[in-house]
Amino acid sequence: MKYTFPDNFWWGSASSALQTEGTREGETTWDYWFAREPNRFHNGVGPQQTSTFYQHWKTDIQLLKQLNHNSFRTSISWARLIPDGIGEVNPKAVEFYNQVIDELIKQGITPFITLFHFDMPMAMQEIGGWENRDVVEAYARYAQVCFDLFGDRVLHWFTFNEPIVPVEGGYLYDFHYPNVVDFRRAATVAYHTVLAHAKAVQAYRAGHYAGEIGIVLNLTPSYPRSQNPADVKAAHVADLMFNRSFLDPVLRGEYPADLVALLKTHNQLPACKPEDSLLIAEGKIDLLGINYYQPRRVKCRDSAVNPQAPFMPEWFFENYEMPGRKMNPYRGWEIYEPGIYDILVNLRDNYGNPRCFISENGMGVENEQRFIENGQINDQYRIDFISGHLTWLHKGISEGCNCLGYHMWTFIDNWSWCNAYKNRYGFIQLDLETQQRTLKKSGEWFAATSLNNSFDI
């Protein structure tokens, strides 16, 4: 069976500034947190030990070319560009990002640029991070600076990568700094992130730049354990909290009424200003990036909530371990290929079929050295993972979904937040000691698929 994709389909990968650049300049929350609690990071490896893109950007772009990428997403580091978040622009950073953007274009690779990929400047966190509306203003100015510096050549902008993750990690589940557990503060952070997004979109529209602007969301389709109304309701609440809290504002320009009502009932609504809703309505996007790694399976709660416990999304559902589910045991995430199709169909049927693309999908595996054959990692499991997802994506496109491309996480093994280098995701193997880069078998497969705009199973 041959799967052919539409003309001009985007084939590429995604990465982020903090996870690849190295040579830290401008302190972020990650640098601060790592200096204080290195034990939180796998094998005590922190954000200064990455895949050294800051030094090797030119040869790394050659590797992207070898992979036949026609597009590539990375992020700008706010802290590198504007070290205190709001003041002087760092000319070295401008030079670096100009060189990267120009080289990508020269090599025929369209740059997709994210403005915020989890890396809050520490100076901004010190004044409250996303809890403080002054940080929303500072971010809007940072976005404007980026559009003015690079907007003549960058035609695809993304305000945020997975904005729900800093909310979950930093304010609910203790896996990002500042390690707070407080739903109302989490809701405030999420709300202010949406305002910051909308302000950036507003600035982009006002500047009449040549390209388009969007956001990258990690969408986790919520599947109920059964069709019992209690399970269905549990899945609905999970969907409201984790998907629709960002999806609805950026595509419909407003929050779902039942999410607002739920938070109001439990006294968890963030402080709003009357003019906010107009701003949110202006934050509607041109292009949606979809990161898809795993589904969310939920059931109704079997036990009563402890009224003393902090208010949590899990007051309304429990995670459900479906018997027989296919797992990536290294990351602990379920692999469910049809999820990608379900996301696209939901967007087509309920959100007006927006222009979108898969901006991340991937499989992190531990100790890949054990798969080396004749000097190359034979990662057939990754090829199976990608082709499995691509067949469902292809079905979505053939049924009218407006999906324009597929980017993998990621082109080279990189630093994965608290997991550091535990799981490897790359098409290219990175030797941490020597920084040597070696193509994996999946890299060869992807290069051929991109070149042919098709693959066979």
Hey, which residues are catalytic here?
162, 360
Q: Does 162 bind ligand BGP (CB under 6 A)?
A: yes
The nearest distance, CB 331 to ligand BGP, in angstroms, is 5
The least CB distance from residue 413 to ligand BGP, in Å, is: 11
* Closest-CA residue to 140 (of 75, 94, 214, 193): 193
**To which residue do tokens 């994709």 refer?**
5
Shortest Å, Cβ 55 to ligand BGP:
21
Tokens 């893109």, residue located: 53
Contact criterion met (CB below 8 Å) for 16 and 51: no
Q: How far is the CB of 72 from ligand BGP (least distance, A)?
A: 15
Residue 426: closest CA among 92, 5, 15, 4 = 15
- Nearest Cα neighbor of 359 from 430, 317, 408 is 408
Determine if 368 is a binding residue for ligand BGP (CB under 6 A): no
Does 413 participate in binding ligand BGP (rule CB under 6 A)?
Answer: no
Q: Which residues contact 89 (CB under 8 A, 6 or more apart)?
A: 81, 82, 145, 149
- Looking only at residues 216 through 275 of this chain, which bind ligand BGP when binding is defined by CB under 6 A? 218
Q: Which of 29, 71, 77, 161 binds ligand BGP (CB under 6 A)?
A: 161
Asked whether position 193 contacts ligand BGP by CB under 6 A, the answer is no
Q: How far is the CB of 231 from ligand BGP (least distance, A)?
A: 27
- Residue closer to ligand BGP (CB basis): 188 or 218: 218
Q: Site map for ligand BGP, 272-301, x if CB under 6 A?
A: -------------------x----------
Residues in 418-437 that interact with ligand BGP by CB under 6 A: 419, 423
Report the relative pairing of strands 356-360 and 287-291 from DSSP bridges. Answer: parallel
b/e per residue 24-36 (b: at least 16 CB within 10 A): bebbbbbbbbbee
Contact between 385 and ligand BGP per CB under 6 A: no
- How far apart CA 214 and CA 286 sit, in angstroms, is 6
Q: How many helices (H) and strands (E) does the chain have?
A: 16, 21
| Closer residue to ligand BGP, CB minimum distance, 77 or 416 | 416
For residue 360, state whether it binds ligand BGP (rule: CB under 6 A): yes
Instruction: State which of residues 416, 429, 449, 450 lies at the interface with ligand BGP (CB under 6 A).
Output: 416
Q: What is the number of the residue whose Cβ is closest to ligand BGP?
A: 416
Nearest to ligand BGP of 74, 125 (CB atom): 74
Neighbours of 272 (CB within 10 A): 14
To which H or E segment does residue 237 belong?
A: helix 229-239
Site for ligand BGP in 302-331 (CB under 6 A): 331
Q: Rank residues 364 and 443 by Cβ distance to ligand BGP and give the closer one.
A: 364
Residue 298 near residue 317 (C-beta atoms within 8 A)? yes
Binding window for ligand BGP (CB under 6 A); candidates: 40-48, 97-105, 191-199, 411-419: 411-419
What's the token pair of residue 206?
């006002």
Does 114 participate in binding ligand BGP (rule CB under 6 A)?
no
CB-CB contact of 144 with 207 (8 Å): yes
Nearer to ligand BGP, 10 or 455 (CB): 10
Nearest to 113 by CA among 164, 81, 154: 154
Residue among 129, 166, 364, 405 that touches ligand BGP (CB under 6 A): 364
Q: Are 155 and 210 in contact (CB under 8 A)?
A: yes
- Strands 437-439, 428-430: pairing is antiparallel
Return residues touching ligand BGP (CB under 6 A).
Answer: 16, 19, 161-162, 165, 218, 291, 331, 360, 364, 409, 416-417, 419, 423
